[in-house]
């Protein structure tokens, strides 16, 4: 089998840089703020390297942006395991067999992907493009065993060739310091005059068994492929969740939009890959000294486009005053809807589906006015006009009959309560239509309705109950 390993040397730093709207030198310091743990390429070009004292780094790069790992006064950072799982979610679109390693590496089996991508080189190029798109720094390496691919990737000597001889040569040329031996084992092998991994492989197995304990012997045999090395495969969660952290706290809601745009682009890619839509977003804003703010953004119908969600979020954030500065945000989706067959696009590249246009309009109205302010009217099983309809939220799904019965002539403007007429109508167009009901709730009516023209020329829906006077119940346009 053939394995591909992706090693992320400074994943937390890439995570912080990805959602920043600037390209400056950045570094991650330890919780005490004494030493540099991770440095980006710009910082390295200025001489800043991991392990350097913070004061020295600032003297070399005065404009260096520093992020501290959960210091006393620093906001809580996401765990490395959480960030690595976010990378596994997009890698899962290319390969289904993924294993997570030590919070900084992903292993995937690629032997079965040759026919799908045409070649391993094509898959390699696709992954490099995706890494560049996401602003991730990674070292890739192929290997005939999982541990061989891991060691080569962490040493930065990855081979794109699928020839086992070249992969084996790269593995054998690894210095022992790069083979993840503990200090005692490394000292013991060095005293034997060994400097490269190939020299360890050349030793007879019996001699290795005498000089090394059983655990180390199994480790070396797994690197060679002489012993089985089972890998637990990761399964993607049934939800979408991404987090963005800020080096400087954001005080205005407008400052959140840049980070949200990138996360929504990832959400659109995820929904396209799932072939599903969603209508509910959960946005959580983290504050340092205040409780977390939770916002629910709903669309009137299924949606997957980042631009549509971005418009709803922009409207919602314009109306929402931040309770406190924001140091991190999370966007989560756990409701997915099966995608309907698209109806095509018009000449301008916009959707020609009237239902999609309707959903877009209703979503904007709900975001601007609130969900309870936008309702729809649905008929009720009652003959009395004032009780024959009821308001209902747009989010509640209902089914309508495919072939409804023909409706009688009704005005679009129904008065809240009937108004008595002082003069009888001057003209008649239809009627009478007798409506009798309400005996079941104590509000019985028995009316004869007509479409009539009043003395003023208006077209009205009038009725007379018994021999009493006339009443206007609605107006026609």
Question: Which pLDDT tens digits describe the chain residue by residue (477 residues)?
Answer: 899 999 998 888 888 887 765 677 888 888 777 888 888 888 888 899 888 999 999 999 888 888 776 644 455 677 888 899 999 999 999 999 999 998 899 999 999 898 889 899 999 999 999 999 888 999 999 999 999 999 999 999 887 888 888 999 999 999 999 999 988 888 888 988 899 999 989 888 777 777 778 888 899 999 999 999 999 999 988 889 999 888 888 888 888 998 899 999 999 999 998 889 998 999 999 998 889 999 998 887 888 999 989 998 988 888 888 889 999 999 999 999 887 665 555 444 555 566 666 677 777 777 777 777 777 777 777 788 878 777 777 765 555 545 555 666 788 888 888 888 888 888 888 878 888 888 888 788 888 899 998 988 889 999 887 677 889 998 987
For residues 256-285, one letter each, b for 16 or more C-beta atoms within 10 angstroms of the residue's C-beta and e for the rest, the string is: beebbbbbbebbbbbbeebebbbbbbbbeb
> What stretch of H or E contains 434?
strand 427-437
Q: Dihedral, CA atoms, 249, 81, 268, 279, nearest 10 degrees?
A: -80
pLDDT of residue 76: 66
Characterize the bridge pairing of strands 26-29 and 65-68: parallel
pTM across the whole model: 0.70
pLDDT of residue 70: 60
Residues found in the chain: 477
Helix axes 257-274, 306-319, angle to 10 degrees: 140
For residues 297-315, one letter each, b for 16 or more C-beta atoms within 10 angstroms of the residue's C-beta and e for the rest, the string is: bbbbbbbbbbebbbbbbbb
First to last CA, the chain: 76
CA distance 226 to 244: 43
**Cβ contact 351:303 at 8 Å:** no
**Cβ contact 153:140 at 8 Å:** yes
pLDDT of residue 343: 54
State the burial class of residue 70 (Cβ atoms within 10 Å of its Cβ: 0-12, 13-18, 19+): exposed
pLDDT of residue 164: 87
pLDDT of residue 350: 55
DSSP 53: B
pLDDT of residue 363: 75
State the burial class of residue 197 (Cβ atoms within 10 Å of its Cβ: 0-12, 13-18, 19+): buried
CA distance 287 to 211: 56
Of the candidates 206, 246, 310, 226, the one whose C-alpha atom is nearest the C-alpha of residue 19 is 246
pLDDT of residue 195: 92
pLDDT of residue 145: 94
Q: Which residues 6+ apart lie within 8 Å of 280 measured at CB? A: 296, 297, 298, 299, 333, 335
**Helix residue ranges, H only, 22-119:** 41-45, 54-60, 80-91, 114-117
Third-level CATH fold of 240-341+353-363: Dna Ligase; domain 1 (3.30.1490)
Of the candidates 157, 198, 204, 155, the one whose C-alpha atom is nearest the C-alpha of residue 180 is 155
């Amino acid at each position: 089998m053939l394995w591909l390993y992706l090693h992320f040397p400074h994943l937390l730093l890439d995570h912080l840089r990805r959602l920043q709207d600037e390209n400056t030198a950045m570094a991650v310091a330890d919780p005490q703020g004494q030493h540099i743990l991770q440095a980006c390429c710009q910082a390295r070009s200025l001489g800043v390297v991991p392990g350097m004292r913070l004061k020295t780094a600032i003297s070399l790069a005065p404009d260096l942006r520093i992020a501290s790992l959960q210091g006393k006064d620093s906001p809580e950072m996401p765990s490395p395991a959480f960030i690595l799982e976010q990378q596994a979610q997009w890698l899962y679109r290319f390969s289904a067999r993924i294993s997570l390693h030590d919070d900084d590496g992903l292993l995937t089996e690629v032997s079965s992907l040759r026919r799908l991508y045409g070649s391993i080189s094509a898959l390699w190029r696709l992954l490099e493009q995706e890494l560049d798109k996401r602003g991730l720094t990674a070292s890739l390496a192929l290997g005939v065993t999982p541990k061989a691919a891991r060691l080569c990737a962490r040493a930065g000597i990855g081979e794109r060739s699928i020839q086992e001889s070249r992969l084996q040569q790269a593995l054998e040329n690894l210095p022992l310091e790069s083979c993840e031996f503990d200090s005692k084992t490394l000292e013991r092998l060095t005293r034997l005059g060994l400097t490269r991994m190939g020299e360890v492989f050349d030793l007879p197995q019996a001699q290795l068994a005498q000089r090394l304990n059983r655990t180390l012997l199994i480790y070396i045999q797994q690197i060679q492929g002489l012993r089985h090395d089972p890998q637990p495969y990761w399964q993607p969660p049934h939800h979408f969740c991404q987090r963005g952290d800020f080096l400087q706290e954001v005080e205005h809601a407008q400052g959140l939009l840049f980070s949200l745009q990138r996360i929504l682009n990832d959400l659109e890619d995820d929904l396209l890959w799932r072939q599903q839509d969603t209508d509910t977003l959960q946005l959580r804003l983290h504050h340092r000294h205040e409780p977390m703010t939770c916002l629910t953004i709903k669309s009137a119908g299924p949606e997957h486009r980042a631009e549509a969600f971005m418009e709803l979020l922009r409207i919602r954030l314009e109306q929402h005053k931040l309770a406190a500065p924001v140091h991190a945000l999370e966007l989560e989706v756990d409701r997915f809807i099966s995608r309907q067959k698209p109806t095509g696009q018009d000449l301008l590249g916009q959707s020609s589906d009237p239902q999609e246009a309707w959903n877009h309009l209703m979503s904007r109205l709900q975001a601007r006015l609130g969900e309870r302010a936008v309702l729809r009217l649905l008929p009720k099983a009652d003959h009395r006009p004032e009780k024959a309809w009821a308001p209902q939220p747009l989010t509640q799904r209902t089914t309508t009959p495919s072939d409804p019965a023909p409706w009688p002539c009704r005005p679009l403007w129904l008065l809240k309560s009937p108004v008595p007429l002082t003069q009888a109508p001057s003209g008649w167009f239809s009627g009478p239509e007798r409506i009798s009901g309400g005996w079941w709730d104590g509000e019985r009516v028995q009316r004869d309705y007509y479409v009539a023209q009043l003395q003023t020329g208006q077209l009205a829906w009038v009725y007379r109950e018994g021999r009493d006077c006339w009443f206007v119940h609605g107006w026609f346009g």
